[in-house]
Every structure is written in structure tokens, then in C-alpha cells.
């Protein structure tokens, strides 16, 4: 009487195992029209559909937002110093009772106060948006695009001085609007 194969782990070395052929031969599966499963299913070699690390363009836009807020803070210091000078000159002009000078000084104060308020608003918005890049969604991307356009439009009014703001605003707009920026801000967050 013969016993089955004494090697329970497979055929002896050098022999090919014989597979019984049942049914139809295996056919290749057509690709799914819906794309790969987002979890990957443990298959190696498949790329994740969403980035897991912040792309370089998005990082650059974030850094540029911090640079813009730093430049705004420098402008804020200069505007407050200018407001102090205009206020001091206004007090000295009231002693001369030149009504036209006093009116011009008051208009200058109003313009500087409006500039200070705009600088503070733009600085706060730039810092807030830059801090939200790591976990923000499409609202952060939309807010950054709106901020970039508003920054460009406002800097065109102060063109020779605002040229740096114009260039940085355009770069922020381009980096956030690219495809890798869209993929970063539209990724699922758990």
C-alpha cells in the first residue's frame, strides 16, 4: 500500500505541480470605469489619488502669504509713524490758523487711518489663511484666491511702491490655482 506524498508542503524539488484545469480559462478583467478604490486595497504600486504631503507650490504660496503679512506689518509701522507726523503738523498748523492747511491735514489723517485699517485687515487675513493651509478645505483655497486678487487690485493703486505686493499676489494666485493645489485642498480629511 502506498501512502500519499510524504512532503505535505508541496512537490519534491525539480517537479512542477500539476494544476487541474476546470471550467473556462481565466480571462483578464476589464478596467473599472470608476477608477481604483480610494483605499488602495493593499495593492502596491498604486498611487494615492490625493496627496498626503503638502505640494511644493502650496508650501510656496503659504510662505508668500507670511511674507506679504510681514511686509504689511512694516507698512503698518510706517503708516502709524506718518500719522504721528501729520497729527503733529496739524497741531502746529492750528496755531497759524490756516484753514486750508488744517483741512488738508485732516484729509491726510483720514487717508492714513483708512490705510492702517486696510493694512491690519489684509495682514490678519493673510496670516489666518496661511495657518489654515495644513488642514483647510476648498474654502481656504477660495479665500486665498480672493485674497490674491484683492491684493493685486489694491497694490495696483500704489504701483511703484506696491510692485512687490503685485508680484507676490500673482505668485500666490498661481500656486494655489494649479492642479496640485486643487488636489491638496480637495483631499478628504478624516
DSSP string, the chain: ---S-S-TTSSPTT-PPPPP--SSPPPPPPPPTT-S-TT-TT-TTPPPSS-SS--HHHHHHHHHHHHHHHHHHHHHHHHHHHHHHHHHHHHHHHHHT-HHHHHHHHHHHHHHHHHHHHHHHHHHHHHHHHHTTTT--HHHHHHHHHHHHHHHHHHHHTHHHHHHHHHHHHHHHHHHHSHHHHHHHTS---
In this prediction, residue 95 carries a pLDDT of: 58
Shortest CA distance to 126 belongs to which of 186, 56, 73? 73
In this prediction, residue 3 carries a pLDDT of: 62
The string of pLDDT tens digits covering residues 165-187 is 999 999 999 999 988 888 888 88
Q: Which of 23-27, 59-63, 135-139, 177-181 has the least mean pLDDT? A: 23-27
Asked if 27 and 142 count as a contact pair (C-beta separation under 8 A), the reply is: no
Q: How confident is the model at residue 46 (pLDDT cuts 50, 70, 90)?
A: low
Asked if 135 and 190 count as a contact pair (C-beta separation under 8 A), the reply is: no
The string of pLDDT tens digits covering residues 68-82 is 999 999 989 998 998
26 versus 176: which is more confidently predicted?
176
Distance CA(72)–CA(165), nearest Å, equals: 9
Asked if 169 and 68 count as a contact pair (C-beta separation under 8 A), the reply is: yes
In this prediction, residue 86 carries a pLDDT of: 78
At 183, list the grid cell. Answer: 488636489
Instruction: Report the C-alpha dihedral over residues 65, 67, 73, 74, rounded to 10 degrees.
Output: -150
Domain boundaries defined on the chain: 56-185
Amino acid at each position: 500500500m502506498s501512502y500519499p506524498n510524504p512532503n505535505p508542503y508541496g512537490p519534491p524539488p525539480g517537479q512542477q505541480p500539476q494544476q487541474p484545469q476546470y471550467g473556462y480559462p481565466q480571462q483578464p478583467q476589464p478596467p473599472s470605469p470608476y477608477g481604483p478604490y480610494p483605499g488602495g486595497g493593499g495593492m502596491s504600486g498604486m498611487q494615492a489619488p490625493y496627496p498626503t504631503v503638502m505640494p511644493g507650490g502650496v508650501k510656496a504660496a503659504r510662505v508668500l502669504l507670511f511674507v506679504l503679512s510681514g511686509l504689511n506689518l512694516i507698512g503698518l509701522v510706517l503708516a502709524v509713524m506718518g500719522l504721528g507726523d501729520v497729527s503733529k503738523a496739524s497741531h502746529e498748523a492750528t496755531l497759524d490758523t490756516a484753514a486750508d492747511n488744517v483741512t488738508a491735514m485732516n484729509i491726510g489723517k483720514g487717508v492714513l487711518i483708512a490705510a492702517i485699517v486696510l493694512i491690519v485687515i489684509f495682514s490678519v487675513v493673510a496670516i489666518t489663511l496661511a495657518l489654515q493651509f495644513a488642514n483647510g478645505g476648498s474654502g481656504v483655497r477660495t479665500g486665498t484666491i480672493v485674497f490674491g486678487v484683492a491684493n493685486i487690485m489694491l497694490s495696483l493703486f500704489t504701483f511703484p511702491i506696491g510692485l512687490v505686493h503685485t508680484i507676490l499676489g500673482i505668485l500666490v494666485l498661481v500656486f494655489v490655482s494649479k492642479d496640485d493645489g486643487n488636489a491638496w485642498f480637495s483631499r478628504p480629511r478624516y
